[in-house]
């Protein structure tokens, strides 16, 4: 666990006429979005997502929000409101429900279908409440109204939370595409109406706050996708998020036009698109979709594969294809289309996959060399529109790295929101809204919680540091047998090193130093095995640091005989 701001103390008790907001994820990062709203002893959770690990998280599968703040108050949670079905907003729900299975989950039809499928894998049957735009639901003391917003997944919602102490409008992830593929616009009329009623705290998506102008409409990328299909000589392999229904729809439409058959690869892709098709969000043209096992019966120029792995995830289908570790053998003349943007932190992994595919002879089309993806988030021009329409009394930018939050805050100030009413907060920072004024009042512990195989939360920074050292610096074990009667070395030191370019012979040079250090220690009356092991560790560490300029993991073992 970590404390985000040492200068901030634990928050005081919430005033009776106040509303408290604590983000347990999503502020200062792109992922694991989770906000806890509190009033009158009751809690409302908005989103509960995961963060995907980066290169400096070796062995980690997922990163969760830190539930410590609410763990002993789960009986006070009225509901988990999910704004949409992306992993960074719903992926941690199973881990929270393992603590208390009967917390109601509130969301749109597609969002609930996606989370129910995920919970089924965890053997949890949730209590759900389906909502859609225009509906209002009383969740304890929280009166929630749901507003349609446009995003890169259908059925996304903003939520307006009314409490006796103030109102909060949380946009979720959104943009203002004026010609959306599903004809579902962000409801600016509702935003204006809520603005007239009075928005005390506006929590707005910050991801594209640094990008000037307006986000390109989804329909504008259809010509680029069609061109890829026209120019491709052999197979086309499309990689995108397993929840990007709009992008998959465009690929299916392009495949129908080009007379190609489409197969989906990857469990999450098949599951999510099956759900979307069943609920009517994905329109599959007749005869286009085939089972991947039947692809061999079609010539290469009639084949399209849709798979996961657009972010370079090592176990995803595309990465395995690039490493020749998949039944689909990518080769000369194949076209690979990366129909997604880069999530910050994934650049190296993605370029590694691109290089691997190109080495195999594939033509790789991506956002860097063609207009094949648009963002799902509002750019600066759209955010300015929202501020001017809503006219909020206070603003709290959410969902983004620190640079995104700062850029969003500046946009709010430009539209006339007083700077002192724009709250910049990070994960764990406590914001209270009292008498129409929002301000930081403290902070709570809020660290990363790692999922490592079947282990959840047992993996800490110390263990992560050990893994980094093993990966980057190598490993040395030293075994010494001491004569307990004389205090002298009876056997060894036996040295084993791994992860070093140097020959094993070089480590013979440190043996006299180990023996001398042990002799000095025993001469000074040190006989405890643990203390002698620390003597060995210091001697080896000092020598390796000076001689080889490395700081490996050193495991000394001293045996008394």
Residue 405's pLDDT is: 95
**Strand-pair partners of 482:** 489, 560
How far apart, in Å, are the Cα atoms of 398 and each of 28, 203, 204, 410? 8, 6, 6, 13
Alpha-carbon distance of 478 to 487, in angstroms, equals 18
CATH class of 218-365: alpha beta
Alpha helix positions (H), 134-284 = 188-197, 222-231, 245-258, 267-278
Name beta bridge partners: 16.
none
Higher pLDDT, 543 or 235: 235
Assess if CATH 3.10.20.580 describes domain 473-560. Answer: yes
Determine contact, residues 145/136, Cβ cutoff 8 Å. Answer: yes
Strand residue runs (E) in 240-361: 261-264, 303-307, 335-338
∠ Cα 128 129 130 (to 5°): 115
CB-count exposure of residue 258 (10 Å: 0-12, 13-18, 19+): middle
Looking at 260-346, list the stretches that DSSP marks H as alpha helix, in order from N- to C-terminal side. 267-278, 317-322
Task: Judge whether residue 75 has pLDDT over 50.
Answer: yes
Cβ burial of 453 (10 Å; 0-12, 13-18, 19+) is: exposed
* Tens digits of residue pLDDT in 77-130: 999 999 999 988 998 999 999 999 999 999 999 999 999 998 998 899 999 999
* Structure tokens given for 81: 């409101």
**pLDDT per position as a tens digit, 22-71:** 999 989 888 889 999 999 999 999 999 987 665 555 456 678 898 999 99
Compute the chain's Rg from CA coordinates: 28
Task: Please measure the distance between the N-terminal and C-terminal CA atoms of the chain and give it in whole angstroms.
Answer: 42
Asked if residue 413 has pLDDT above 90, the reply is: yes
Quick one: pLDDT at residue 439? 93
pLDDT for 504: 66
Predicted local distance difference test score (pLDDT) of residue 279: 93
pLDDT tens per residue, range 263-309: 998 888 889 999 999 999 999 999 889 888 888 888 888 989 898 87
385-402 confidence digits (pLDDT tens): 999 999 999 999 999 999
Burial class (CB in 10 A: 0-12, 13-18, 19+), 102: exposed
| Whole-number average pLDDT of the chain | 85
Model confidence at 2, pLDDT cuts 50, 70, 90, reads: very low
Greatest mean pLDDT among 213-227, 369-383, 416-430, 497-511:
416-430
Q: Where are the alpha helices (DSSP H) in 453-523?
A: 461-472, 511-523
Instruction: Tell me the CB-side half-sphere exposure of residue 283, using CA atoms within 13 A.
Output: 7
| pLDDT at site 472 | 59
Vertex 24 angle, CA 62 and 382, to 5° = 95
Looking at residue 5, what is its pLDDT?
61
pLDDT at 3: 42
The Cα–Cα gap between 473 and 442 comes to: 39
The more confident residue out of 443 and 472 is 443
What pLDDT is recorded for position 1?
31
Name the band, by pLDDT with cuts 50, 70 and 90, for residue 220.
confident
- Residue 499 pLDDT level (bands cut at 50, 70, 90): low
Distance between CA atoms of residues 531 and 511, nearest Å: 18
Which of 260, 266, 270 lies closest to 236, judged by CA? 260
Q: What is the pLDDT of residue 55?
A: 55
Domain boundaries, the chain: 18-213+376-461, 218-365, 473-560
Q: Does domain 18-213+376-461 have CATH number 3.40.50.720?
A: no
Do 536 and 478 meet the contact criterion of CB atoms below 8 Å apart? yes
pLDDT at 449: 78
Please report which residue ranges of 91-187 form alpha helices under DSSP H. Answer: 93-97, 109-121
> Per-residue pLDDT tens for 507-539?
777 777 777 777 777 767 767 777 777 877 788
Q: Which residues neighbour 414 within 8 Å (Cβ) at sequence distance 6 or greater?
A: 384
User: Is the dihedral angle over the CA atoms 515, 518, 523, 528 positive or is it negative?
Assistant: negative
Question: 142-163, pLDDT tens digit by residue?
Answer: 999 999 999 989 999 999 999 9
Question: How high is the pLDDT of residue 398?
Answer: 96
Residue with tokens 């429900």: 97
Q: For position 122, what pLDDT does the model report?
A: 86
The enclosing H or E element of 158 equals: strand 157-163
Burial of residue 300 (CB within 10 Å: 0-12, 13-18, 19+) is: middle
Residue 405 gets the label, from left (phi > 0), alpha (psi -120 to 50) or beta, of alpha
Mean pLDDT along residues 253-267: 89
Closest CA to 309 of 358, 362, 263, 266: 266
Quick check: bond before 493 cis, omega within 30? yes
According to DSSP, residue 253 is labeled: H
Count the residues in the chain: 561
Per-residue pLDDT at 420 exceeds 80: yes
State the Cα–Cα distance between residues 100 and 424, nearest whole angstrom. Answer: 31
Backbone angles phi, psi at 420, to 5 degrees: -70, -10
Percent pLDDT > 70 in the chain is 88
């Amino acid at each position: 666990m970590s404390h985000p701001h040492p200068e901030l103390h634990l928050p005081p008790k919430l005033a009776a006429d106040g509303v408290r907001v604590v983000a347990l994820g999503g502020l200062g990062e792109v992922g694991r979005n989770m906000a806890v709203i509190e009033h009158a002893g009751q809690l409302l959770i908005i989103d509960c997502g995961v963060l995907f690990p980066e290169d400096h998280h070796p062995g980690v599968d997922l990163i969760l929000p830190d539930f410590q703040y609410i763990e002993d108050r789960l009986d006070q949670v009225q509901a988990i409101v999910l704004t949409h079905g992306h992993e960074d907003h719903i992926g941690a729900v199973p881990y929270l429900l393992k603590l208390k299975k009967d917390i109601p989950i509130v969301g749109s039809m597609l969002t609930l279908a996606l989370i129910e499928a995920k919970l089924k894998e965890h053997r949890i049957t949730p209590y759900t409440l389906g909502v859609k735009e225009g509906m209002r639901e009383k969740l304890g003391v929280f009166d929630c109204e749901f507003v349609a917003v446009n995003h890169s997944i259908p059925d996304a919602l903003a939520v307006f939370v009314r409490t006796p102490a103030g109102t909060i409008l949380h946009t979720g992830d959104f943009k203002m595409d004026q010609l959306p593929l599903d004809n579902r616009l962000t409801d600016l009329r509702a935003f204006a109406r809520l603005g007239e009623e009075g928005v005390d705290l506006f929590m707005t998506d910050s991801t594209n706050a640094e990008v000037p102008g307006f986000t390109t409409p989804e329909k504008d990328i259809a010509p680029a996708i069609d061109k890829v299909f026209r120019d491709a000589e052999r197979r086309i392999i499309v990689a995108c998020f397993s929840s990007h229904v709009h992008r998959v729809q465009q690929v299916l439409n392009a495949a129908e036009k080009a007379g190609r058959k489409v197969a989906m690869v990857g469990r999450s892709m098949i599951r999510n698109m099956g759900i979307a098709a069943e609920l009517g969000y994905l329109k599959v043209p007749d005869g286009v979709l085939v089972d991947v096992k039947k692809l061999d019966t079609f010539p290469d120029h009639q084949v399209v594969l849709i798979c996961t792995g657009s972010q370079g995830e090592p176990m995803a289908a595309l990465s395995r294809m690039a490493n020749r570790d998949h039944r689909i053998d990518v080769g000369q003349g194949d076209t690979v289309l990366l129909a997604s943007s880069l999530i910050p932190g994934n650049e190296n992994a993605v370029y590694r996959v691109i290089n691997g595919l190109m080495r195999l002879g594939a033509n790789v089309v991506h956002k860097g060399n063609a207009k094949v993806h648009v963002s799902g988030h509002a750019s600066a021009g759209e955010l300015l529109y929202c501020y001017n329409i809503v006219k909020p009394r206070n603003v709290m930018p959410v969902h983004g790295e620190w640079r995104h939050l700062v850029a969003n805050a500046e946009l709010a100030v430009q539209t006339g929101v007083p700077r002192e009413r724009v709250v910049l907060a990070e994960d764990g920072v406590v914001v209270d809204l009292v008498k129409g004024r929002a301000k930081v009042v403290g902070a709570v512990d809020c660290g990363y919680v790692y999922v490592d195989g079947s282990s959840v939360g047992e993996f800490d920074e110390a263990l992560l540091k050990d893994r980094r050292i093993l990966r980057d610096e190598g490993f040395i074990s030293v075994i010494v047998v001491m004569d307990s009667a004389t205090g002298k070395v009876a056997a060894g030191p036996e040295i084993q090193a791994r992860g070093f370019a140097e020959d094993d012979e070089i480590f013979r040079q440190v043996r006299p130093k180990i023996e001398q250090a042990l002799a000095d220690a025993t001469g000074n009356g040190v006989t405890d095995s643990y203390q002698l092991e620390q003597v060995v560790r210091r001697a080896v560490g000092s020598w390796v640091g000076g001689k080889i300029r490395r700081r490996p993991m050193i495991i000394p073992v001293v045996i008394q005989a």
